[in-house]
């Protein structure tokens, strides 16, 4: 996803921009560029591919100046290329723009601008913005930007420079993330906090419909109508080193290993001292008992891995609180005319809190009178700010594109929430609630135990990496985890895999099973074990090679598989928080065996802020 950085101060801006962009690489991108005021005016350099390509251009011919904007692009309109990379200029080369988002009416605007004599060089929607601002400029850049954005429809975070007012950097936000960093004699813009953390910890978070005017000496926040906004800065107290690899070969492996801590952090303040109750603050879920009783149904809406967490969430809430739950992929939700009433609670799940489809679903839910609870990992994200209640997953920054600790802490979020509802609605006895909490508290150590067996998984992964197709099967919660295991494997190893509810295989897909096709069979649900074993037999009879994931000490299961990996015993409801860990490792080591870029898989972005 596109990343923006901007600088105004006295340092060599090229260095600040490259450093900031390198911290945004995790978002995924296909090209990068910078614009800097030099003694020749606004100069732009851009390059398709990795940031290193741009860096080597800048090493050969540096851009000397103390004000600039930079961008990493993830293509939406127009293929990845030098010319489509940002920053974009108008045709007088006096205005330069970086943009994250999509301008929905860009085609009409472009046609009108061409009609008035503007000449375009790229296929992007963004180039329209620099031309529009240039056309609206009557001696005041702030007013020109305000007039230009009034003509635009869509999502945009913008950084704007003009040669006519070389002591100003303009930032605008509408439906795409943008923050302002405040320094001494210098100020910054960025798509997120890590981009600025080397320089400042004092941040303004821009809201939709707001802009900022940065000079060396200060920052003014304004509405797009020009009214001044007074706001306190937000002081960031987490360290950049938490966002670095800490000795692991890849961010993904580091993040897999951070799960025990992430589980503890997400649970700690939310479990009463006696370990018998879940405690949520009013900001986390502030409905009264009467209001909770008035919830008739719950919709869980999310994308990708977060959607898979939602599938587990559905079972957890239905089992613990006996409220009917539907789980939807966010990009489908709005378009199926879901029945949302004021008795509906909508839970949106999003690591980044910026996923466009999830945000749109949240807005649809609110428009229809539902209350919205967000389970998200990013404080101050769009989802967090727009929801009525927020349960933050304290996973810490997740850099690898493939989500691991964000997913598992989303599961913890659902367990906590399900227990909170159960206790309020008295659908479970205090004993069951206390027993579940005790089992949850054991999860971090159990994950640590699984991680000590990583070498076993590595050996299996190296075998799997030789295949092009494989299957995951499971029943109940094991099926939900299979879907996540299959997605993880696909996205980083590029091995084709499908996840099936075990009982569904014989309704068609069994035709694909032949000698040595690997099938990863999850069997952690004790009450479903017999049935799962029957399905495994169907696969074995056709020559399939079974890799079983079961619970410790289950001899029944071990007799039916070619390889067995076991996880420590826990309550059936909690097994997803353990069973997914070997599947994460499997995907990781299969990706390594195939020589892939684990942390930045092809075609994917960390934060998907377009629909
Ligand atoms: C896969 C992955 C994605 C995200 C999805 C939603 O590993 O990370 O499937 O889960 O793009 O992103 P968030 O959770 O940021 O809304």
Alpha carbon distances (Å) from 394 to 241, 350, 373, 557: 16, 13, 16, 35
Span from the CA of 604 to the centroid of ligand 1 (angstroms):
10
Percent above pLDDT 90 for the chain: 84
In a 3-state reduction of DSSP, which class is residue 595? coil
Q: Is a pLDDT exceeding 80 seen at residue 379?
A: no
By the 8 A CB rule, do 121 and 141 touch?
no
Span from the CA of 535 to the centroid of ligand 1 (angstroms):
31
The confidence band for 245, taking pLDDT boundaries of 50, 70 and 90, is low
- Give backbone dihedrals phi and psi of 604, rounded to 5 degrees, phi first: -115, 155
Taking only the tens place, the pLDDT of each residue in 105-152 is 999 999 999 999 999 999 999 999 999 999 999 999 999 999 999 999
Taking only the tens place, the pLDDT of each residue in 284-323 is 999 999 999 999 999 999 999 999 999 999 999 999 999 9
Judged by average pLDDT, the poorest of 188-202, 415-429, 586-600 is 188-202
Tell me if 355 CB under 6 Å of ligand 1.
yes
Ligand 1, pocket-test mutation among 28, 303, 384, most atoms within 8 A of CB: 303
Span from the CA of 323 to the centroid of ligand 1 (angstroms):
26
pLDDT of residue 101: 87
545/563 Cα distance (integer angstroms): 9
Beta bridge partners of 47: 32
592/266 Cα distance (integer angstroms): 30
pLDDT of residue 213: 98
Task: Give the strands of the sheet with 88-89, arranged side by side.
Answer: 88-89, 95-103, 154-162, 169-174, 210-214, 219-223, 228-229
Span from the CA of 334 to the centroid of ligand 1 (angstroms):
18
Secondary element (H or E) of residue 492 = helix 477-493
Alpha carbon distances (Å) from 406 to 214, 391, 505: 34, 13, 30
The strand ranges marked E within 438-562 are 469-474, 496-501, 518-523, 545-551
As given in the structure block, the two tokens for residue 531 are 């049935």
As given in the structure block, the two tokens for residue 595 are 């020589």
Tell me if 376 CB under 6 Å of ligand 1.
no
pLDDT of residue 610: 74
pLDDT of residue 199: 95
pLDDT of residue 559: 87
Single pTM value for the model? 0.75
Tell me if 608 CB under 6 Å of ligand 1.
yes
Mean pLDDT score, 590-606: 92
Tell me if 352 CB under 6 Å of ligand 1.
yes
Taking only the tens place, the pLDDT of each residue in 50-71 is 999 999 999 999 999 999 999 9
Mean pLDDT score, 339-343: 96
Query: By alpha-carbon position, which residue is closest to atom 6 of ligand 1?
Result: 303
92/163 Cα distance (integer angstroms): 10
Residue 2 a catalytic site member: yes
Closest C-alpha among 171, 141, 152, 165 to residue 69:
171
pLDDT of residue 75: 78
Q: Is a pLDDT exceeding 80 seen at residue 279?
A: yes
Closest C-alpha among 300, 35, 53 to residue 158:
35
As given in the structure block, the two tokens for residue 550 are 């079961």
- CB proximity list for 552: less than 8 A, separation 6 or greater: 566, 567, 568, 569
The alpha-carbon radius of gyration of the chain (Å, integer) is 26
């Amino acid at each position: 996803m596109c990343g923006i950085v901007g600088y105004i101060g006295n340092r060599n801006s090229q260095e600040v921009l490259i450093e900031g962009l390198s911290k945004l690489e995790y978002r995924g991108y296909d090209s990068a560029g910078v614009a800097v005021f030099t003694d020749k005016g606004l100069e732009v350099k851009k390059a398709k591919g990795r940031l290193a390509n741009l860096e080597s251009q800048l090493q050969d011919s540096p851009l000397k100046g103390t004000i600039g904007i930079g961008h990493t692009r993830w293509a939406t309109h127009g293929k990845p290329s030098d010319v489509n990379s940002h920053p974009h200029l108008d045709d007088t080369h006096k205005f330069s723009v970086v943009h994250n988002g999509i301008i929905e009416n860009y085609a009409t605007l472009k046609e009108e601008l061409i009609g008035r004599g503007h000449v375009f060089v790229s296929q992007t929607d963004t180039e329209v913005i620099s031309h529009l601002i240039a056309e609206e400029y009557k001696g005041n850049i702030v007013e020109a930007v305000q007039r230009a954005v009034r003509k635009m429809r869509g999502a945009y975070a913008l950084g704007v420079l003009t040669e006519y007012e070389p002591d100003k950097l303009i930032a605008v936000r509408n439906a795409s993330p943008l923050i302002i960093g405040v320094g001494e004699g210098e100020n910054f813009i960025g798509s997120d906090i890590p981009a600025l953390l080397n320089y400042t910890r004092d941040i303004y978070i821009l809201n939709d419909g707001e802009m900022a005017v940065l000079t060396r000496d200060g920052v003014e926040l304004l509405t797009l109508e020009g009214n001044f906004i007074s706001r306190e800065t937000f002081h960031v107290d987490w360290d950049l080193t938490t966002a670095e690899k800490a000795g692991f070969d890849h961010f993904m492996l580091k993040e897999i290993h951070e799960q025990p801590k992430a589980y503890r952090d997400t649970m700690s303040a939310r479990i009463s001292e006696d370990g018998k109750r879940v405690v949520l603050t009013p900001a986390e879920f502030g409905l009264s008992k009467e209001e909770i009783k008035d919830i008739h149904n719950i919709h869980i809406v999310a994308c990708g891995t977060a959607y898979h967490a939602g599938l587990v969430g559905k079972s957890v809430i239905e089992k613990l609180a006996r409220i009917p739950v539907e789980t939807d992929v966010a990009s489908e939700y709005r378009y199926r005319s879901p029945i949302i009433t004021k008795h509906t609670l909508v839970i949106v799940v999003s690591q980044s809190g910026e996923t466009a489809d999830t945000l749109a679903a949240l807005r649809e839910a609110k428009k229809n009178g539902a209350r919205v609870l967000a389970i998200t990992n990013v404080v101050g994200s769009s989802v967090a700010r727009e929801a009525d209640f927020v349960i933050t997953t304290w996973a810490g920054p997740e850099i690898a594109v493939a989500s691991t600790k964000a997913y598992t802490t989303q599961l913890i979020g659902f367990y906590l929430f399900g227990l909170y509802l159960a206790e309020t609605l008295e659908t479970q006895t205090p004993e069951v609630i206390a027993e579940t909490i005790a089992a949850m508290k054991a999860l971090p150590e159990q994950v640590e135990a699984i991680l000590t067996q990583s070498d076993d998984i590595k050996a299996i992964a190296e075998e799997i990496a030789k295949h092009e197709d494989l299957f995951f099967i499971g029943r109940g919660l094991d099926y939900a985890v299979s879907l996540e295991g299959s997605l993880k494997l696909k996205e980083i190893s590029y091995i084709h895999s499908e996840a099936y509810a075990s009982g569904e295989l014989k309704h068609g897909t069994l035709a694909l099973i032949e000698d040595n096709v690997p099938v990863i069979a999850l069997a952690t649900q004790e009450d479903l074990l017999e049935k799962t074993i029957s399905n495994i037999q169907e696969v074995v009879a056709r020559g399939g090679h079974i890799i079983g994931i079961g619970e410790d000490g289950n001899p029944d299961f071990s007799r039916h598989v070619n390889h067995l990996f076991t996880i420590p015993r826990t309550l059936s409801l909690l097994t997803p928080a353990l069973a997914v860990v070997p599947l994460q490792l499997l995907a990781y080591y299969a990706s390594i065996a195939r020589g892939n870029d684990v942390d930045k898989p092809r075609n994917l972005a960390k934060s998907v802020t377009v629909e």
